[in-house]
């Protein structure tokens, strides 16, 4: 009885698995450099008009992309960082920076949001005011976005968006303010 219990035929079948992961890479698009346009209010609270008040050329802004990154899957490349430099600014100065982000990965992504920080520690981000504020909570630099948060971008697709920067009354003369905006994106459909 014991011999019957141990003697038996045996064989196997197999499942061979390969999981090839995709990639999740959003970049600033090299095909279209960023542009910065100055605006001013025609009258307080009124519509925006191009340029600065009275047609003067006082402040100016430069912007460009840097820090090349490449998606290992698609071998497409783009930039990880957009640099914005605003010179000789003053309260009321307003500039809109228009840029294009491209999904160079293989997975759709969703732009979840952004936070701004001051590397020098002078300003803090107030999400309610949408502004970097000083230590008394007064807005110094308003940062608004258009066509950005919540947008879903499929692989190879682009989204044209903009950040609007507005210098508020409490900005101090002759200061240099620095900020970093971290634009967070997730694999698509994770809106929680």
Partner 1 sequence: MRKAMGMLVSLMVALSMTGVAVAHWSDEIYVEGTVEMGSVTVGWYSVECWEDDEPCGKDVGSIDCWLEDEETDVHTEKTIYKTLVIVISNVYPCWMGHVEAAINNAGTIPVDLVDIIIDGEMPPEDEVNIWVDCDWPDYPQLDPCNTAIIRADIHVKQDAPECTTYEFSVTLVFNQWGCEMA
Dist. CA 164–CA 54, nearest whole Å: 21
* Cβ-based nearer residue to partner 1, 11 or 57: 57
Size, binding site for partner 1 by CB under 8 A? 53
Does the footprint of partner 1 cover residue 125 (CB under 8 A)? no
User: What is the 3-class SS of 38-49, one letter each residue?
Assistant: EEEECCCCCCEE
Structure tokens at 75: 């071998």
**Cβ atoms of 96 and 13 closer than 8 Å:** no
Q: Which is nearer to partner 1, 3 or 46 (CB)?
A: 46
Residues 74-93 that bind partner 1 (CB under 8 A): 80-92
Residues 6+ apart with CB under 8 A from 4: none
Minimum distance, C-beta of residue 172 to partner 1, in the bound complex (Å):
6
Which part of the chain contacts partner 1 (CB under 8 A), choosing from 2-10, 12-20, 54-62, 151-159?
54-62
Two structure tokens written together for 69:
């990154």
Identify the bridge partners of residue 60 per DSSP, sorted by sequence position.
Answer: 87
- What distance in Å separates the CA atoms of residue 138 and residue 171, rounded to the nearest whole number? 9
State the nearest-atom distance from the C-beta of 7 to partner 1, in Å: 26
Residues that bind partner 1 (CB under 8 A): 24-28, 40, 43-44, 53-54, 56, 58-59, 80-92, 97, 101, 107, 112, 114, 141, 163, 165, 167, 171-187, 190
């Amino acid at each position: 009885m014991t011999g019957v219990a141990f003697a038996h035929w045996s064989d196997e079948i197999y499942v061979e698995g390969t999981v090839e992961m995709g990639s999740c890479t959003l970049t600033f698009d090299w095909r279209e450099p960023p542009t910065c346009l100055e605006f001013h209010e025609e009258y307080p609270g009124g519509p925006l008009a191009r340029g600065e008040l009275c047609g003067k050329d006082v402040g100016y802004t430069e912007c460009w992309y840097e820090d090349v990154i490449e998606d290992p899957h698609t071998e497409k490349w783009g930039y990880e960082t957009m640099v914005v430099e605003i010179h000789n600014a003053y309260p009321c100065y307003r500039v809109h920076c228009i840029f294009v982000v491209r999904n160079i990965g293989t997975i759709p992504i969703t732009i979840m949001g952004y936070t701004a920080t001051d590397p020098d520690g002078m300003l803090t981000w107030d999400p309610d005011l949408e502004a970097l504020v000083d230590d008394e909570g007064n807005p110094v630099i308003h940062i608004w976005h258009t066509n950005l948060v919540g947008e879903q971008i499929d692989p190879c697709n682009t989204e044209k968006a903009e950040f609007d920067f507005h210098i508020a009354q409490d900005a101090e003369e002759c200061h240099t303010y620095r900020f970093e905006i971290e634009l967070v994106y997730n694999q698509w459909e994770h809106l929680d």
